[in-house]
Amino acid sequence: NSLLTTIATTEDEAINAEVDEDLDPSLWIGLMGVGIILFLGIVFWLRLVYSRFEITGAFPVEFGMLTFGSVVGGFAVFQDHKFVENSSEWVFVSLAGLLILGGIGVVAYASWKAKVDASQHQEGASKVQTGGEGDNAAYSANGLLPLSGRKV
């Protein structure tokens, strides 16, 4: 991380001391307010997502977006782009971003395909239940397999 590898000089310390004196406490109060609102929003949306979707489908997307956001945030906030000096490093950074987004896409596609397959399976099961055996045929607990010889 660039914050850990950067060595401050005496000039940098003097500049930072001047900047720190000019900061208004309302800035910190505002930042804390925004942080609390964002935290509560995250808690709300994570509870909503995990109540509606399986964790195996939602967690990889969440983790991938967090990782991608961290990389972009590092470039934007901490100006890590200044430490990427040659084109081969930019290629690797771009490939890493594409791999993260590609992984999110694979998980999203697999989740969508599983949902479509499940809905098609349920439609097929309802067709099986309504035809063939008559009105008084009994079905297994999941409603998919007829129980032969039993009458309702």
Instruction: Give buried/exposed letters for 74-110 (b at 16+ CB in 10 A, else e).
Output: beeeeebeeeeeeeeeeeeeeeeeeebeebbeebeee
Q: What pTM does this model have?
A: 0.49
Determine the pLDDT at residue 57: 73
The position carrying tokens 């406490």 is 25
Q: What pLDDT digit, counting tens, does each position of 95-139 carry?
A: 998 998 898 888 888 878 888 888 888 877 666 555 554 444 455
Q: How far apart are CA 21 and CA 111, in angstroms?
A: 52
Contacts of 142 (CB under 8 A, 6+ apart): none
Determine the pLDDT at residue 74: 84
Concatenated DSSP letters for 23-65?
Answer: --HHHHHHHHHHHHHHHHHHHHHHHHHHHHS-HHHHHHHHHHH
Give the residues of the chain that fall short of pLDDT 70: 1-23, 125-152
